[in-house]
Chains A and B, each alone.
With several copies, the nearest count.
Chain A
């Protein structure tokens, strides 16, 4: 990666040709074999989980707006595994992959998509509004840009409580044009809040290509606020994880925010109703050729730490997990109509 100095206080690190970049690069002291297996499992789980979710949507089991994460797995897995258990995160509506990478129960995620009482949000939130506070997963947010200020506030609270937790905030390239992006980056630097801003640049905000929605480069703009800002290859889970660890380490030890722009690509439409008139099939095919999961498999097999048997074992585990999730969701009861009025506010003796 060639470093191009932008300002005294911040640097934009450019990866060669992300996302057209090469497959996983050899890390000096990279993840252990266990970690690599874990990454592969999570990436394959997310891939399969989303395929299944798509099926369930066409079957009418899942309703509302549904945004699949397929293609971006390396981002979630590389970034979120760099967090500690006591760290917190908020993300946007394309949140299944992030929830799975953070270790939320697949059964309860699928149940949420089914709108069942066993869901992580009790069936009240749906795909765009997943929450699991026990995992520091403070939500998927459906209003573009709205969770960025929340992340600053979470960072501020951590700073005030002097616990050393870091807050991760994930959002897309299209969100960068929102005013709250600007307000949040500025506040985070001014107040030195430990927040990792992780932008998944999949080149489109719905059907609008980034160059039509932003007059400049994302990581370059972020650097102008005086925070460390890097652009990385989001199709390489090892690079993402390496950069993510640096970012989290920086926030935890130095305090203050850190910005990562991960170049990636979404294979499926923006949502289930997307006619995809704005891009060519060929473009999608091109990116599928550089699939992050395949790249990781190659990396592991080349190093002799993955063989067909091992791969089959993981695939089988993934299959079982996803089938279990659907079974759990199917079996999970609908929330009772008598619960409709509960929890509009929290009152003494509620719980």
Chain B
């Protein structure tokens, strides 16, 4: 075990996988000389050389498409998009090429590709630069969608992504990069997809989060315990596709109440899927309707107060829990 920040855990995963498998190479905007806009790839150009760490032009559709092609050609590329906001420009390649080729070709073609993207609001970057699209990508069959909330998970899940023969959308919340945690050194440390993590056990209510919102969930649980003596169970989904509903349902059947927390807009967001599935599979266990805590229905403003008001907070979670008890 070594204590490190999530950004360094991610780098370790990349380093180990590049040493393990020479099909793995990296491309992206400013991942080389610049060191990556969130410093995840800093130093890797020096260590692995220009052959395996490619700085690319600003052409999201082109570089994601090239990554798909390289994967079809027998490599296992990682393409970093500086932030997930720019993935709108590459969405056709992700949705129509990467996600569908295996199925449409009747299993002749595989696209082993890892697409890493920084995501989320809260840094006052304004509306165009503050999207949370975990749920949007989880909608498409053929993709895997991974969104770690801490350093250890980040390493285990990213390494696992390079053992997958499919395209993995790997989403990193910018608020998590600096978070420190104990990270296993074992080069074979992997975290399987589709295994939610019960971060905190509780009896009265289940709080479900993923990516950045896991931390609002945890802080809310502490507040509930300290201030209201309410025992909340907190679940980190870790991957949205595949989705581990069993862990969520087991918890809800125990607590009889559920709150979902996400950074994304509530309307048409992934929380609706979770809420609906909980109802579908645990209807008779529910003492109250499942609650969703998410962003207000506005483009995220630059002003700090407005941005904070628009994003979900631990207070919002506490409020939602109290309202259902």
Contact = CB atoms under 8 A, between A and B. Distances in A.
Q: In the complex, are there CB atoms of A and B closer than 8 Å?
A: yes
Interface of A: 63-65, 88, 115-116, 121-126, 128-129, 131-133, 138-139, 141-146, 148-158, 160-161, 174-175, 177-180, 183-184, 186-187, 190-191, 205-208, 212-214, 273-275, 277-278, 334-335, 337, 339-347, 350-351
Interface residues of B, number: 73
A129 B126 contact: yes
A79 B243 CA distance: 47
A115 B304 contact: yes
Contacts of B212: none
B303 A124 contact: yes
A144, A146, A152, A180 — most chain B CB neighbours (10 Å): A146
A131 B111 CA distance: 14
Interface string B120-143: 000111111100000000000110
Given A208-B57, A344-B299, A337 B306 contact: yes
The 8 closest A-B pairs by CB, nearest first: A153-B69, A149-B65, A157-B73, A183-B62, A207-B34, A126-B302, A122-B106, A177-B57
Nearest to B90: A149
B33 A208 contact: yes
B176 interface: no
B29 A208 contact: yes
B93 A146 contact: yes
Interface stretch (B96-104, B154-162, B183-191): B96-104
Given A149-B61, A150-B72, A345 B102 contact: yes
Contact of A152 (B33, B69, B304): B69
A277 B39 CA distance: 12
Contact of B25 (A149, A160, A334): A160
B269 to A, nearest CB: 16
Contact of B124 (A63, A151, A213): A63
B151 interface: no
A64 B73 contact: no
Contacts of A123: 301-303, 306
Contacts of B77: 153
B305 to A, nearest CB: 6
B305 A335 contact: yes
Contact of B302 (A115, A152, A153, A273): A115
Nearest to B79: A153
Given A335-B301, A343-B102, 12 more contacts: A64-B124, A115-B304, A123-B302, A131-B109, A146-B96, A149-B64, A150-B97, A152-B62, A152-B69, A161-B74, A345-B142, A346-B107
Contacts of A160: 25, 51, 70, 75
A145 B64 CA distance: 14
B211 interface: no
Interface of B: 25, 29-30, 32-35, 37, 51, 54-75, 77, 85-86, 89, 92-93, 96-97, 101-110, 123-129, 141-142, 144, 165-166, 296-299, 301-306, 309-310
Contacts of A337: 305-306, 309
Contacts of A148: 65
A340 B34 contact: no
Contact of B105 (A121, A183, A208): A121
A139 B65 contact: no
B17 to A, nearest CB: 16
23 contacts: A124-B126, A125-B104, A125-B302, A129-B104, A131-B104, A133-B108, A142-B129, A148-B65, A153-B68, A153-B77, A154-B69, A154-B73, A155-B69, A157-B72, A160-B70, A178-B89, A179-B61, A213-B56, A213-B57, A275-B34, A340-B309, A343-B106, A344-B297
A133 B102 CA distance: 12
A206 B55 CA distance: 11
Contact of A149 (B68, B106, B110, B304): B68
A224 B298 CA distance: 42
B70 A206 contact: no
Nearest to B112: A346
A206 B60 CA distance: 15
B58 A213 contact: yes
Contact of A177 (B58, B102, B127, B296): B58
A184 B124 contact: no
Nearest to B166: A345
Contacts of B86: 143-144
